């Protein structure tokens, strides 16, 4: 083999060895990379956060109750007789003094005539005895009549005067009974149906069958039960300031088919004791009823408000989590790290939940994505406004309050 041939073979062998070494090194690096991939820092999760709102609010609480008539009267006859006429339509509105029923007046008119005759006789007898007594007194002065005869005439005159008074009273009673044959409405209101029709004989007295019932409609009561905490918070303070101007507990009313609480009234009476079995006290509010649409027995939603506005913290209800029987929020620190914070919640205000304890004004909390975030995590905050809400209008503008609000307020208030 020539010298050049040997050099060629040696060069080729060296190249093969270098290629093998390079392939082995590349495979080793690939295997290491496959077993230990490069570590990259996790990116922070983007979460919506908002600042706790501080606002001047008025506390409201909602209750369920029933409407009751201010005046409810069972119309019963005060004299017996035959019912001759019914002067109203069932369910009609009547005014005070309107005639509702007529009883046959003829027996009572005859009694009036008889009493008149007796009164006239008594008047004649009284006039005669009075003149006879005056004549006896003149004769007695001249000793022309005995004292005995004079005393008899004097006694007769007194008896006649007493009989005259009795006859007058009998006539007044007869006229009163005659007036009772026209049964009138004692108050303005709405009548029920006629329970007794024409031609039936009715009896007088408190145990007699009612002819109909009448309820007043100008004003109406709403009766409902208030829990002890609400009584101490809303009603009792105003009762202690009874003599002060404006110390009135406002009440607002809504029917089952109405939105919000469009009717305004006030607390009219509070029971004299708390029911220890239920922990509630009976309260009654009065409302104007000019259109007569409020009927006794209707379901009523009543809202009470405190007379003194106060500062409160408000947050979006989506920001509140539940941990068994606890409520909590996730608060952000200056490093955007979340922290668990237990809170005590109150009622709803403008769509936001009142926080009674656990937060301070200006703190930032997670409002959306609470389920994806854990305490102690660093997040990428996306600042948003707390749920947009306008200041609370008066309840009679249609602001609704739900029964759920009441339960939450009772549980956490």
Distance CA 364, CA 334 (A): 10
Q: Number of structural domains, the chain?
A: 4
Residue bearing the bigger pLDDT, 297 or 27: 297
Give a three-class secondary structure readout of 134-193: HHHHHHHHCCCCCHHHHHHHHHHHHHHHHHHHHHHHHHHHHHHHHHHCEEECCCCEEECC
Residue 322 C-alpha from the chain's centroid: 30
Task: Report the predicted TM-score, pTM, of the whole model to 2 decimal places.
Answer: 0.64
Do residues 302 and 62 make contact, with C-beta atoms less than 8 angstroms apart?
yes
Lowest mean pLDDT among 37-51, 96-110, 168-182, 192-206: 37-51
Other Cβ atoms closer than 10 A to 113:
11
**What's the pLDDT at 14?**
58
Per mean pLDDT, which of 12-21, 178-187, 271-280, 365-374 is the most reliable? 178-187
In a domain, 338, yes or no: yes
Tell me the CATH number at 332: 2.40.420.20
Q: At 358, give phi and psi (nearest 5°).
A: 120, -20
In a domain, 41, yes or no: no
**What's the pLDDT at 244?**
45
Number of C-alpha atoms within 13 angstroms, CB side, residue 105? Answer: 16
Q: At 276, give phi and psi (nearest 5°).
A: -70, -25
In a domain, 239, yes or no: yes
**What's the pLDDT at 5?**
56
- 240: pLDDT confidence band, cut at 50, 70 and 90? low
Strand partners, 190: 93, 215
Residue 69 CA: distances (Å) to CA of 75, 89, 294, 295, 321: 15, 20, 9, 8, 45
Domain region containing 186:
77-103+181-217
In a domain, 118, yes or no: yes
Other Cβ atoms closer than 10 A to 296:
17
Number of C-alpha atoms within 13 angstroms, CB side, residue 303? Answer: 26
In a domain, 23, yes or no: no
| Shared domain check, 161 and 97 | no
Asked if pLDDT for residue 22 goes beyond 70, the answer is: no
Q: pLDDT above 70 covers what percent of the chain?
A: 80
Asked if pLDDT for residue 342 goes beyond 80, the answer is: yes
Distance CA 249, CA 307 (A): 7
Do residues 81 and 201 make contact, with C-beta atoms less than 8 angstroms apart?
yes
Asked if pLDDT for residue 21 goes beyond 60, the answer is: no
| Shared domain check, 269 and 347 | no
Tell me the CATH number at 93: 2.40.50.100
**What's the pLDDT at 410?**
39
| Shared domain check, 363 and 260 | no
Residue bearing the bigger pLDDT, 194 or 352: 194
Do residues 95 and 226 make contact, with C-beta atoms less than 8 angstroms apart?
no
Per mean pLDDT, which of 13-27, 165-179, 300-314, 357-371 is the most reliable? 165-179
| Shared domain check, 125 and 151 | yes
- 403: pLDDT confidence band, cut at 50, 70 and 90? very low
Residue bearing the bigger pLDDT, 48 or 347: 48
Task: Examine the fold and report which residue of 193, 217, 241 is the final residue of a domain before the chain moves on.
Answer: 217
Asked if pLDDT for residue 270 goes beyond 50, the answer is: yes
Tell me the CATH number at 233: 2.40.30.170
CA nearest 218: which of 71, 371, 411?
71
**What's the pLDDT at 401?**
38
**What's the pLDDT at 18?**
53
Task: Examine the fold and report which residue of 305, 323, 338 is the final residue of a domain before the chain moves on.
Answer: 305
| Shared domain check, 155 and 81 | no
At 96-112, the pLDDT tens digits run 999 999 999 999 999 99
Residue 120: partners with Cβ closer than 8 Å, 6 or more residues away: none
In a domain, 114, yes or no: yes
Residue bearing the bigger pLDDT, 226 or 11: 226
State both tokens at 151. Answer: 């005393």
| Shared domain check, 202 and 93 | yes
In a domain, 145, yes or no: yes
Asked if pLDDT for residue 409 goes beyond 50, the answer is: no
> Mean of the pLDDT values across residues 338-352?
86
- 311: pLDDT confidence band, cut at 50, 70 and 90? confident
| Shared domain check, 406 and 318 | yes
Asked if pLDDT for residue 307 goes beyond 50, the answer is: yes
Distance CA 139, CA 42 (A): 137
- 241: pLDDT confidence band, cut at 50, 70 and 90? low
**Residue pointed to by tokens 């339960």:** 407
At 293-304, the pLDDT tens digits run 899 999 999 998
| Shared domain check, 159 and 53 | no
Do residues 359 and 52 make contact, with C-beta atoms less than 8 angstroms apart?
yes
Lowest mean pLDDT among 2-11, 84-93, 134-143, 173-182: 2-11
- 399: pLDDT confidence band, cut at 50, 70 and 90? very low
**What's the pLDDT at 61?**
82
**What's the pLDDT at 370?**
80
| Shared domain check, 297 and 208 | no
**What's the pLDDT at 239?**
64
Lowest mean pLDDT among 14-23, 198-207, 245-254, 369-378: 14-23
Asked if pLDDT for residue 79 goes beyond 70, the answer is: yes
| Shared domain check, 99 and 201 | yes
| Shared domain check, 390 and 356 | yes
Distance CA 198, CA 196 (A): 7
At 81-138, the pLDDT tens digits run 999 999 999 999 999 999 999 999 999 999 999 999 999 999 999 999 999 888 888 8
In a domain, 10, yes or no: no
| Shared domain check, 350 and 339 | yes
| Length of the chain in terms of residues written | 413
Distance CA 137, CA 144 (A): 10
Task: Examine the fold and report which residue of 275, 305, 335 is the final residue of a domain before the chain moves on.
Answer: 305
Tell me the CATH number at 138: 1.10.287.470
């Amino acid at each position: 083999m020539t010298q050049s041939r040997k050099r060629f073979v040696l060069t080729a062998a060296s190249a093969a060895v270098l290629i093998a070494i390079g392939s082995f090194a590349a495979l080793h690096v690939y295997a290491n990379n496959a077993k230990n991939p490069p570590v990259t820092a996790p990116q922070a999760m983007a979460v919506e956060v908002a600042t706790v709102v501080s606002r001047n609010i008025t506390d409201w609480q909602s209750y369920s109750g029933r409407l009751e008539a201010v005046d409810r009267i069972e119309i019963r006859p005060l004299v017996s007789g035959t019912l001759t006429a019914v002067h109203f339509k069932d369910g009609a509105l009547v005014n005070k003094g309107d005639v509702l029923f007529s009883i046959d007046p003829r027996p009572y008119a005859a009694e009036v005539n008889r009493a008149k005759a007796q009164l006239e006789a008594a008047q004649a007898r009284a006039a005669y005895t009075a003149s006879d007594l005056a004549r006896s007194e003149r004769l007695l002065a001249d000793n022309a009549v005995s004292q005995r005869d004079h005393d008899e005439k004097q006694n007769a005159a007194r008896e006649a005067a007493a009989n005259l008074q009795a006859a007058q009273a009998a006539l007044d009673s007869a006229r009163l009974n005659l007036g009772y044959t026209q049964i009138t409405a004692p108050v303005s209101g709405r009548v029920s149906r006629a329970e007794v029709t024409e031609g039936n004989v009715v009896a007088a007295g408190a145990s007699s069958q009612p002819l109909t019932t009448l309820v007043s409609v100008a004003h109406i009561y709403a009766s409902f039960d208030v829990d002890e905490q609400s009584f101490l918070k809303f009603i009792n303070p105003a009762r202690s300031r009874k003599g002060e101007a404006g110390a009135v507990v406002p009440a607002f009313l809504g029917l089952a088919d109405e939105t919000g609480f469009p009717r305004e009234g006030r607390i009219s009476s509070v029971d004299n004791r708390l029911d220890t079995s239920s922990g509630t006290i009976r309260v009654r509010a009065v409302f104007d009823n000019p259109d007569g649409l409020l009927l006794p027995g209707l379901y009523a939603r009543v809202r009470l408000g405190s007379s003194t506005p106060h500062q409160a913290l408000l947050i979006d209800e989506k920001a509140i989590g539940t941990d068994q029987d606890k409520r909590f929020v996730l608060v952000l620190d200056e490093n955007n790290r979340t922290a668990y914070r237990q809170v005590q919640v109150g009622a709803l205000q403008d769509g936001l939940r009142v926080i009674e304890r656990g937060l301070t004004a200006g703190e930032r909390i997670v409002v959306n994505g609470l389920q994806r975030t854990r305490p102690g995590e660093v997040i990428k905050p996306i600042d948003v406004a707390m749920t947009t809400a306008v200041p609370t209008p008066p309840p009679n503008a249609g602001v609704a309050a739900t029964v759920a609000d009441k339960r939450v307020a009772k549980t956490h208030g």
